[in-house]
Each structure stands twice: as structure tokens, then as C-alpha cells.
Amino acid sequence: MRRSREIQGNILAAFNKDYTAFRYMRFPDDDGAGGRGWLSVMLNTVAVTAAVEDFNEEFSLSRRAWGQDPSLTATWVGVSLTFPGLLQVVREPERVKQDLAPFGSFMKGAAARAADLGDHGTSAPENWQFGADGAAVHAVLIVAADTESALNDKLGNIAAADAAHGVTLVHQDDGRTLAGDLRGHEHFGYKDGISQPGVKEFHREDRDNPGFRENRPGATLVEPGEFVFGHKSESGTPPEAPSWMDNGSLQVVRRLRQDVAGWNEAVVREAGKFQPHAVSPDLLGACLVGRKKDGTPLAQGQNPVTGVGPGGNDFTYENDGAGRQTPCAAHIRRTHPRHFETTQRHRIMRRGIPYGPAYTGGHDTADRGLMFVCYGTSLERQFEFVQRAWSNNPGFVPGTEGAPNGIDKVTGTLKQGASGSPDAHIVLADGQEGTVSMDRFVQTTGAVYAFTPSISTLRRL
Ligand code: HEM
């Protein structure tokens, strides 16, 4: 498993590049030859886990020893196929349809699943920049590089392959790491990319992913089958996937636009409503995320004296059932409640990067947000469950029954027609109390579901 040359790069080892293009491609209307020809070119350039992992390891070792080495560079490519794209290029589409029967959301596509995930109004597919017509996108290409010129060089080579095989670009998004003090942060200003699942046989608990400990050795590490087909999964039973899906993964791509001015204003307004007196907007923002802007979790961790520092991840909510440290509405608590039994089978491997310019203050309403990407072996049990049953659902209490609660104010929204309150009730340890009443300032502006095949499956197409 470790050092795999079969699994594509970004799934278990992050591409982690400052310049990342997302290209949504359409194959020509032919017998599949155009798409297959294009994929055979992509096969020669696609990154495998072992290469990305080796690079990331060398990068962090050399940075620790000598500081950043600008000569250590790599450009990575990953390719995934939507359900219509897969049908276009496989030799036996009817058999593939049958094989995919257990993967209903993948076959329906992201647009058909939008309403169930709360994407209505401005987030409805008719307002998306890509993916609204489920059949229009056949492949998603991710190209990740250290510099804009390295990215453009690679994109130039790829464009030649597109033209040669009649493959057209439907839409492109340009992921860019924010610069300066905001490096590693998302547009609302919070440090991102901290907590990820560790994978058995692949990550080391002590180094790669400090994870969260529950006095159970190995509890932080998830079975590889949660993210890659053909491997043991948390339930102990292999997922019902055909062998051509082995070493592949399901990919979610969502273009999530962020209204930073709207978020900031709402946080200031709502902070002012707390009783017996106002809380600071910084504190309320941290309550809604579950971490301060520098990544420090509100949770105290296992050691109340040392606590958990910026970027720390060694904590649970076990001693905070009422949400007095980390409110039950907090984004990180709702998307990962950290109870071993309920959580592990719903974990997702996140690979997001911001797009658009950094927010400059005032009424700067430029198009900016997060290219949210995640991987897993079940859309229904992982990404969709987290969004639908946890973030959006006022009935889910990630704390003790009756604890002050509310939907996720970062990404949650009530499904149209759903009952329950969209507000979040927060009671802090010092007795400060408030009911946060604000819409989410994240709008879905495009989405696709795709399958990221193994190297052997790509070769056999
Ligand atoms: C963690 C922001 C979308 C799931 C985080 C963190 C931030 C953040 C600041 C804490 C840093 C970290 O642990 O990596 C955002 C923003 C989003 C967004 C601004 C949209 C624009 C989503 C979506 C999902 C999601 C759509 C899934 C449906 C998670 C999970 C964690 C997380 C699982 C880790 C929680 C933990 O293990 O503690 N997010 N997020 N996020 N987010 Fe999001």
C-alpha cells in the first residue's frame, strides 16, 4: 500500500502546490476514441502516490534542515472521469452501469444531488459555472505546480493533446495559495488544511497526522478502504466495488464562493447581540469555525495545562459535551465530531485550495472562494453525509443531548422545505450566550462528482 505506484497522486498524499488548475473537459461525440486517445496521453503524465509522497517527504526533510529550497520543484497531474465520461470511453458501458449500481450519487452526478445537499437559490445548479448539465463534463484534470510559469508550461503541453484528440475545455478554475500572512489560510482568514484522517499502512500516527487520540492505540488511523477501493475498510467488509475500481477513489469537486465582506459584517453584528455583554467578533468567528484564525483550536485538548497550540490536532470534545469550549455549531465539530464510533466511517480526505484574489477590505466583492476537493469510497456515506446529515441538519447534536446547538454557519444551510431552525445557539464557559442568526456566506458555484481511476485501469481503457 505505502509507496503505491497504482494509486493516483492526490488521494493519499496531497499535491500541495501554490498554483493548481482545475480543468473540466468534454470528450468528442465519437465512439470513445477521442477520449481514450487523450487519456493515453494523460497516463504518461499522471502522478502516482509514491512520487508525490517521496517528493513531500524530501521537501519537508530539506526544509527542516536548510529552510525552503527553491530548486525542489515538481508539477503534478491527476485525472478523473465523471459517470458520462466513463461511459464514453469504456468498451462495455452496459456492464459498467451494472457495476456502478451501488454508487447511485456518482451515477446521478453532483447537479442531481444538489437539492438534497441544500444547494438552492443562488447555489442551485442553474447558477453554476460548470457541472449544471451533468452530461457536459467528462473529465476533471488537476494540474498543480510551484510557479505560474511551470503551470503554464504544463498546460501548454496538455492543450496540444486536447486539440489532437478533439477534447474541449468546458471551464477552468485557478486555485492559488494566498500570499504573505494568509499563506495556508482560506479567504475568511482561518488556517486550513490542518486535520486530515491518517490512513493505516500509509501514514504514521506519530508524524504524518497527529490526529486525535482517544487512549486507543491506532484510533486516529482509518482503514485505507475508506479512501481507496480494493482495500480493507472500517467495517471490515470490502466495499461492493468491481475490480476495475481497485486503487481508485471517488472525487468531489465543489467551487465554493465566499462572501468575505458579508461574513465579516454578520460576525460583527451577531457578536454584538451576545448577553450579558457583546463578545469580540474574533471570538465569535472562532466559535463558528472551532479554531482561531491562526489554527489554534478552541478545544483544550487532553492536557488542560499546555492546551493545544496553533495547528494542533490532538483533542476530542469528550470533556465538552455542552459545547462550552467548542460550540456544537462549530464547523470543525459538525464535520468531524471526533467520537470514534460515529466518526470514522464518515471521514473525508480534503484537498482544497483557495481561488480568486485575497480580500482587501470594505465592499470588495471579487469572485473568491475555495476549490473544495475531497476523496472517499462512498459519496453517500462520506461527503454527502457530512454535508447533509451533519452540517445542514439542526437535529444533529455533536455533543450531549439538549446541548446548545445549531447548523454549521460556515457551510451549512437548511434544505429547502426542511423543518428546524437555521440559527445557532451558543453558550460559552464564562456564561456568555447568544443566538447566531445569519445565512451561510458560502455559495456553491459549480460541482462535479468523478472517479479517479488507478494507473492500471487508465491503461486498460
Ligand atoms: C476543517 C473552512 C468547506 C469539511 C476546516 C477548517 C477550516 C475550514 C478553517 C479548520 C482547519 C482544518 O482542520 O483543516 C472551510 C471553508 C469552507 C469549507 C471556508 C468553504 C468555503 C467544507 C466542506 C466540508 C468541510 C464543504 C464537507 C462537507 C471539513 C472537515 C474539516 C474541516 C471534515 C476537519 C475537521 C476536523 O477534523 O477537525 N474547514 N471549510 N469543509 N472542514 Fe471545512
Q: Which residues of 418-452 are buried (b: 16+ CB within 10 A; e: fewer)?
A: eeeebbbbbbbeeebebebebebbbbbbbbbbbbb
- Name residue 150's beta-bridge partners: none
CB 378 within 8 A of CB 250: yes
Residues of the chain with pLDDT under 50: 209-210, 213-218
Distance 35 CA to ligand 1 centre (A): 34
Distance 37 CA to ligand 1 centre (A): 37
pLDDT of residue 89: 98
Atom of ligand 1 nearest to the CA of 193: 14
Report how far residue 166's alpha carbon sits from residue 337's, in angstroms, rounded to the nearest whole number. Answer: 46
- Residue-wise pLDDT for 118-163, tens only, equals 999 999 999 999 999 977 999 999 999 999 999 999 999 999 999 9
pLDDT of residue 311: 75
Q: Whose CA is nearest to atom 25 of ligand 1?
A: 335
CB-ligand 1 contact for 440 (6 Å cutoff): no
Report how far residue 59's alpha carbon sits from residue 17's, in angstroms, rounded to the nearest whole number. Answer: 12
pLDDT of residue 127: 97
Please enumerate in sequence order all residues whose Cβ is within 8 A of that of 387, keeping only pairs 6 or more positions apart, or say none: 117, 118, 411, 412
Distance 429 CA to ligand 1 centre (A): 24
HEC profile for 409-427? CCCCCCCCCCCCCCCEEEE
**From residue 153, how far is each of 145, 157, 158 by CA, in Å?**
10, 7, 9
Q: How many residues does the chain have?
A: 461
pLDDT of residue 216: 44
Report how far residue 167's alpha carbon sits from residue 235's, in angstroms, rounded to the nearest whole number. Answer: 40
Report how far residue 353's alpha carbon sits from residue 374's, in angstroms, rounded to the nearest whole number. Answer: 11
Mutate to test the pocket of ligand 1, among 335, 340, 392, 393 (most ligand atoms within 8 A of CB): 335
Distance 383 CA to ligand 1 centre (A): 11
Report how far residue 120's alpha carbon sits from residue 117's, in angstroms, rounded to the nearest whole number. Answer: 9
pLDDT of residue 344: 78
Distance 301 CA to ligand 1 centre (A): 19
- Residue-wise pLDDT for 335-348, tens only, equals 999 876 677 789 99
Distance 166 CA to ligand 1 centre (A): 37
Atom of ligand 1 nearest to the CA of 391: 28
Report how far residue 155's alpha carbon sits from residue 335's, in angstroms, rounded to the nearest whole number. Answer: 35
For 108, what's the count of Cα atoms within 13 Å in the CB-facing half-sphere? 13
The backbone torsions φ and ψ at residue 37, rounded to the nearest 5 degrees and listed phi first, read: -60, -45
Mutate to test the pocket of ligand 1, among 185, 188, 195 (most ligand atoms within 8 A of CB): 195
Atom of ligand 1 nearest to the CA of 195: 13
Q: Whose CA is nearest to atom 12 of ligand 1?
A: 194
pTM for the whole structure: 0.96
pLDDT of residue 427: 98
Q: Which residue is it, cell 464557559?
A: 429
Dihedral sign for Cα 204, 305, 343, 337, please.
negative
Report how far residue 366's alpha carbon sits from residue 369's, in angstroms, rounded to the nearest whole number. Answer: 10
Report how far residue 136's alpha carbon sits from residue 27's, in angstroms, rounded to the nearest whole number. Answer: 9
